Each structure stands twice: as C-alpha cells, then as structure tokens.
C-alpha cells in the first residue's frame, strides 16, 4: 500500500509540474517547432511565454528586419479553442487583429486592421498598367471565413496617394476608398474616389467562390496626358475621356446580376 501511495503521489507531482510548466511555457522553448511554419521568417530576441510574448526582431528570409511582433494566445487552446491576438509593427507594415477558431473549421476575425506602404510589398508581377504605389489602410470590422473564403464580411479600405508606377512615369490617381460587405459567401464591394483627386472612380465588384463581375466608370477630372494615356489601357475612352469597364469571369459569372444604377 505504501508503494502504491508513493507512486500515486509521485505521479501527481509529475502531472502538477507538467501543468505548471505548460501554463508558463517560455516562448523561446517552442521556437524550434514554430519557425518551420513561418515560411522563411525568423523570430529573434523572443521574450515572454507561449501565451503572452513578443519578438523584438522579425527577420525576412534574406535577413533584413521587418519589425517586431506581440501576441496573446488564450490558454483555451489547450482545449482546442484557439483565440489569438496579434500585433505587428514595422516601418512599412503595421497589423493588428484577433482570430478565433470556431466549430465547422471556421475562422472569425474581428477588429483587424493593416496599414502598408505598397512599395514594401515588392510586387514583382509585371502588368501593362504598372505597379501600385501609395499607402493602403484596410480595416476588417468582422469576418467569418471558411476554407479561406469570407462567408460574412464587413470591411473598408483607403488607398491614399494612389499612384500607378509605369515605365513611362508615375500616374497619380488621388485618394480612393472601398467598402465591402459579404453575406452567404457573396461579396459586394464599392470603389469610390474622394471627389477631389485627378480621377473620378465609381466601381462595383461582386465576388463569389465561383465567379466575379466588375462594373466601373473612370473619368479624368484634369487634362493630364499621362492619366488619359493610362486609361486607354483599360478600354476605349468616350468623348469626355471616361472609360467604362464591364468584365466578369468564373463558372458563375453570368449568374451575377449587374449592380443597381
């Protein structure tokens, strides 16, 4: 009996020690298992615990510092209830948001925001329209994702000092704004300008997992020849220089109704 009692006591102490260690698990201890999932990113000067920690340096694959990151991970993750709050702060990218895993392999996002200087994205894909420049501010008030697609969405974005960088020079577009709503997996987005810039923008975009439809009108407010030349790359211009865009694609593109006038 004494042997059994001592064995149970030893097992209890071992389990208690393991629970305490897991509860206060230092973040640097788990980095060897986490970093292979970061697609080349490396975390240095890691402090705190797995549940509440920070990394003073987030390094890209080539070794340059991108910024610093802080996280708060709910201990309910031990019960399979993942809830993560993440903050990233860098000279060209700032991000913060909360993610929660829900039943049915769904992900809920809330109070998520991102500010990025578009040149920092280093977009290497070539396009006859050029490469976007300026500051992009994106805010997702709430979103419900399944397999990466928004079943529900409420978001808005602002593209400040919008510029398209082309081989012939930069084309200024002004400040553009976007509102997006999603319900039942169907996303409706509207693009507008602020009414003061060189380009009038009025666009509607519909998205589903099976198709998309874009209807937009772009009209120059000024006689800038570079802007008018850039617009001709989008389609034929009317007498006032405006370009009307009507495009769609995907299996269900024809089932998407045109936006209301």
- Total residues found in the chain within this entry: 261
Both tokens assigned to 188: 């409706």
Confidence band (pLDDT; 50, 70, 90) for 168? confident
- Average pLDDT (46-70) is 89
- pLDDT score recorded for residue 32: 83
- pLDDT score recorded for residue 3: 52
pLDDT, the chain, mean = 85
How far apart CA 193 and CA 151 sit, in angstroms, is 27
* Residues forming beta bridges with residue 247, ordered by sequence position: 214
Q: Using the predicted structure, report yes or no on whether residue 108 has a pLDDT greater than 90.
A: yes
Which stretch of DSSP H or E encloses residue 12? helix 2-23
Confidence band (pLDDT; 50, 70, 90) for 213? very high
- pLDDT score recorded for residue 256: 60
How far apart CA 252 and CA 22 sit, in angstroms, is 49
- pLDDT score recorded for residue 104: 83
**Which pLDDT tens digit goes with each residue over 34-56?**
888 888 888 899 998 888 899 99
**Which pLDDT tens digit goes with each residue over 4-31?**
454 444 444 444 444 445 556 788 887 8
How far apart CA 143 and CA 61 sit, in angstroms, is 30
127 or 58, which is more confident = 58
* Torsion sign, CA atoms 35, 37, 41, 46: negative
- pLDDT score recorded for residue 6: 46
Both tokens assigned to 162: 């919008």
How far apart CA 218 and CA 175 sit, in angstroms, is 14
Burial call 15-52: b when 16+ CB within 10 Å, e when fewer: eeeeeeeeeeeebbeebeeeeeeeeeeebeebeebbbe
Q: Which of 23-37, 55-69, 163-177 has the lowest mean pLDDT?
A: 23-37
HSE toward the beta carbon, residue 145, CA cutoff 13 A:
12
Own/partner pairs, 35-44, CB within 8 angstroms, 24+ separation: 41/66, 43/69
Confidence band (pLDDT; 50, 70, 90) for 75? confident
Q: Using the predicted structure, report yes or no on whether residue 198 has a pLDDT greater than 90.
A: yes
Provide the pairing of β-strand 186-193 with 199-208. antiparallel
**Which pLDDT tens digit goes with each residue over 230-240?**
998 899 989 88
- pLDDT score recorded for residue 200: 96
Q: Where are the domains of the chain?
A: 22-72, 92-255
Both tokens assigned to 147: 């397999």
How far apart CA 8 and CA 97 sit, in angstroms, is 44
């Amino acid at each position: 009996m004494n042997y059994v009692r001592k064995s149970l006591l030893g097992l209890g102490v071992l389990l208690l020690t393991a629970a305490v260690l897991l509860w206060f698990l230092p973040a640097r201890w788990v980095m060897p298992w986490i970093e292979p999932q970061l697609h080349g990113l490396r975390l240095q000067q890691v402090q705190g615990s797995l549940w509440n920690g920070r990394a003073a340096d987030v390094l890209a694959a080539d070794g340059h510092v991108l910024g610093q990151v802080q996280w708060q991970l709910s201990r309910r993750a031990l019960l399979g209830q993942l809830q993560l709050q993440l903050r990233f702060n860098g000279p060209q990218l700032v991000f913060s948001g909360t993610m929660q895993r829900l039943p049915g392999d769904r992900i809920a996002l809330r109070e998520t925001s991102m500010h990025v200087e578009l040149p920092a994205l280093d977009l290497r894909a070539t396009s006859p329209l050029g490469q976007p420049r300026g500051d992009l501010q994106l805010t997702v008030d709430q979103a419900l994702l399944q397999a990466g697609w928004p079943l529900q969405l409420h978001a808005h974005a602002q593209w400040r000092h919008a510029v398209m960088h082309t081989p012939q020079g930069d084309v200024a577009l002004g400040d553009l704004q976007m509102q997006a709503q999603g319900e039942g997996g169907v996303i409706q987005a509207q693009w507008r300008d602020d009414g003061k810039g060189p380009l009038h923008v009025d666009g509607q975009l519909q998205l589903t997992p099976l198709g998309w439809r874009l209807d937009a009108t772009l009209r120059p407010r000024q006689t800038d020849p570079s802007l008018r030349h850039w617009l001709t790359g989008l389609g034929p211009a009317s007498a006032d220089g405006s370009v009307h865009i009507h495009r769609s694609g995907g299996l269900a593109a024809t089932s998407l109704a045109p936006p209301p006038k």
